Amino acid sequence: MVTPEEIGAGLLSLFHLFLLPLTWLSLTPTAFLLSVLALGPLPRHVAFIMDGNRRWARSLNSRIEAKQQQQERQGSAEGQKTPSGHQSGFQALKRVLDLCLQLKAIEHVTVYAFAIDNFKRKAEEVDELMALARSSLIELAGHGELLARHQARLRVVGRVHLLPPDVQEAVRRVEDLTRDNKGPTLNICIPYSSRDEMAGAVRSRVEAKMRAQRPQANGHCHSPNEAEEEDDDAAMATELEALDKEMLLAHSPPVDVMVRTSGVHRLSDFMLWQITPSTTMHFVPTYWPVFGMRDMLPILLDWQAHQFRKWLWGMDGGVLPNTSSC
């Protein structure tokens, strides 16, 4: 016999069934697409190489100059300010980050903001980038801003001591402000190099082993006997696990999706340790300042399709370069 509770549960299910289409109709196009995406599997960790800021600005400035020259010939010239590629890139970061954080399953987002080698650029450009980094960090963590809305924690990954003092202070302030946030994690790599990260991890392991093998009180060094020695495979696995814990990005899982904008097909010394055979790689031609939903949607759909293929046919996850225009 059907109980009143079961009848109530059935009526509630029918109500939700009829209400759901009405709810979706009230969503904006972006919110609707995100709701559809959320029905399938999503990556835990997405990383971005934000490339093409300067080329986008040069391209746009060339078009602006050509338009102004044409207006001058017609006698109707109007001054138009040329945009900063890096400032426009920061606006794109906020846009893409908001998109990712709305998908609750994406728990970690990592962006390549400034390479250690970028310090070799012209002093004026480095100064501009450092000033932008300082203001951007403070803006992201401001009251009611992006990180606060999503309860996201910000971590700055890299050799922070190489940054100017005012930027270091901004880093400490922002990390302190977001330390207790329980939501997703945003890793901003500045200044960063994957080779530097790995070298630092190896150095830490060597120092730890040297400390463990220092002469004890009896004047003898501890050395393992045959019974203590592990087989080569087990020893290698143990050492790799120990190295993994020494990485600057040890707090985040391996990368599921890696995206590089501007059509350049290289990783530029970014997260080489965190890429695994199951990481999907996407090299899209869009410049970072104009990267958005129309570029990100096919990338996430491709990842979902890949997961469904693995589930249906037990395919091994391999690195899947995707050079389509997306």
Burial of 19 (0-12, 13-18, 19+ CB in 10 A): exposed
- The angle formed by the CA atoms of residues 228, 233 and 238, to the nearest 5 degrees, is 70
pTM, full prediction: 0.81
Confidence of residue 323 (pLDDT cuts 50, 70, 90): very low
Amino acid 2: pLDDT: 44
Rg (the chain; Cα; Å): 25
Residue spans per domain, the chain: 194-212+234-247
Amino acid 65: pLDDT: 53
State pLDDT tens for residues 273-306: 999 999 999 999 999 999 999 999 999 999 999 9
Lowest-confidence region among 9-18, 23-32, 222-231: 9-18
Which residues lie closer than 8 Å to 133 by C-beta, 6 or more apart? Answer: 113, 114, 163, 167, 170, 190
State pLDDT tens for residues 56-82: 998 887 665 555 555 555 555 454 455
- Which H/E stretch holds residue 133? helix 123-140
Mean pLDDT of 157-179: 97
Q: Does residue 112 surpass a pLDDT of 90?
A: yes
Q: Which amino acid is at 116?
A: I
Terminal-to-terminal C-alpha distance of the chain: 55
